[in-house]
Structure 1
Amino acid sequence: MTSQTTTVSAYAAPSAKAPLERTTIPRRPVGEFDVLIDIKFAGICHSDIHQARDGWGEGIFPMVPGHEIAGIVTEVGPGVTRFKAGDRVGVGCLVDSCRECENCRAGQEQHCTGGSVGTYNAIGKDGEPTYGGYSQSVVVDENFTVRIPDGLSLDEAAPLLCAGITTYSPLKHWGAGPGKKVAVIGLGGLGHMGVKIAHALGAEVTVLSQSLRKKDDGLKLGADHYYATSDPKTFEELAGSFDVILSTVSAPLDFGAYLGLLRTGGALVNVGAPEEPIALNLFSLIGGNKTLAGSMIGGIAETQEMLDFCAEHGLGAEIELIEASRINEAYERVLASDVRYRFVIDAATI
């Protein structure tokens, strides 16, 4: 068992809004219930950019982003029962929680009232900053590690640890399935997985995108319909159509207009998190008993459920594999919506 802190290569933002650069970071010794993971691939999530640029509040620097981690177990602590060396595993947005509150006991660790610990940009229970997946390896408690089924390649599985669970959880919660009409706003890193998962769940799926530029992609991914939101006729034609609308975009929307697309009792669920506050006329909710909701990732057990579901249905992310030296370029391309549909870092290049 590794009894000493190790030093590994990583890419970090030295300060807010600064370009990421190659550096080294410490990794804690492998504890009794820890697994040491040799990181093979790490997805680039839009939230990495928000946090590295202080978009969601003051960050902890230097910051090593990355919470879409796929790799191989190379060592386990003596108390570990779930994993062994050689296992294919993943780590998502959380690496710890209080484990005692009502939410943790219910498998909702992401809503831990005692304070969950993020995979990066957080302070662990040891008082040290957490560093994410843009690195060679990571040490994680076995209870916050999930198994990647053999049916999924590690590179295409990495984005599922955030983009997959972030869309799977609300679609399941709000009843996406046969006989239901689901709309996905935005066909990006989150949205493309939302389309795949909603289709696999059996729902009738519509993509609502600013333009028809990605229409062919959307239909190939499983959408039944594709509309441009830049066309005012879209909101007239689709009024009162949907049971569930999943918004994956991180820009403020005209929520009144989108709520008008819901059936009576329908729900507009946000998984994208704009940095700016939104304005809302509550009559757009009151009329039709509609719900404006939010959803944040999912618990560890549900993340495993999602991975098993994706393996069963052959759902990996659509990725563009890059070398670590291209991370800053990738950030700019994400902001320009110029990726189809998730950048994944080859950790061997870190």
Structure 2
Amino acid sequence: MTSTSPHASAPTRELPEPLRARPVPRPGRWVSAAVVLVLVAMAVNGLVTNPNFRWDTVWLYLRDVVVVRGVGWTLVLTFGSMALAVVLAVTLAIMRRSDNPVMRWVAWAYIWFFRGTPIYTQLVFWGLISVLYPRLSLGIPFGPEFFVFSTRDLITAFWAALLGLALNEAAYLAEIVRAGLSSVDPGQTEAAKALGMKDGKIMRRIVLPQAMRVIVPPTGNETISMLKTTSLVVAVPFTLDLMYATSAIGNRTFQPIPLLVVAALWYLLITSILMVGQHFLERYYGRGFDGGSPAGRSGRGPSGSRKPRKQDLIRAAGTTKDDPFAEVTP
């Protein structure tokens, strides 16, 4: 009689051979990449070897004092008009959300008019403002005038260009700001009002900081677009910007193509710098936002930031107490 030992080893099983997976061949990727590289090489070769571009002339006038001065005036027009446009756009956006029908309809009419007419036409009218209104006055309508100004002396070509660009851009930025304000959960405004905060403080401390995540990206695009729109101020006419300066030199030297390349290179450089600044602004105002989760998940509002706690709202209202029943000083 044979006995089986309990410690006898079990029969070994043969392990399957490891899979040798191979990536799926995608010849289309390599073919398309090769075609694109060939086209890029052809474009670079055409730029470098074509003598009509006159790269020596481009390098000469790229640092010309008139061109550099035109770059400065272009930047002044860009940032000055955007600053005025942002202030006016926030005002228009608040008016569009107002309960007052007069304010709401005035804002709508402004946006309708300036978005519905070409910017070039508006700049031409601003250039003819002294013809339409030779003098401007302050006083009582249909009554006596207290102060009288000469329009030609008050609104120069620079101010006409700046105002024309700013008023047109404000109509577009107003809709961007309105969309950003609408993206903030209205419950936060109601909670702030329940704590005694005024409407102005709610807008500054609660709504606008969260709406900036939605407002900043398209505003950055509008700034870059404004940089190139300044080339139209010749309609005023304003003759110190980059585009007019390069065009004047090109017409004088009978070499318009190299000077157009000079203008294009300067616009590309400034646009690249603005794009870097826009990237860091977007990252600053978008910090803490989980783009993969829908709004409202993990305690986050539509703006992507954490919903403020009651203690945060109390601090924003001006008190340092964490007691939700503490007296709030608006």
Instruction: Give the TM-score of the pair, scaled to structure 2.
Output: 0.22
Higher strand share: 1
Instruction: Give the TM-score of the pair, scaled to structure 1.
Output: 0.21
Higher helix share: 2
Higher relative contact order (CA 8 A, sep 6+): 2
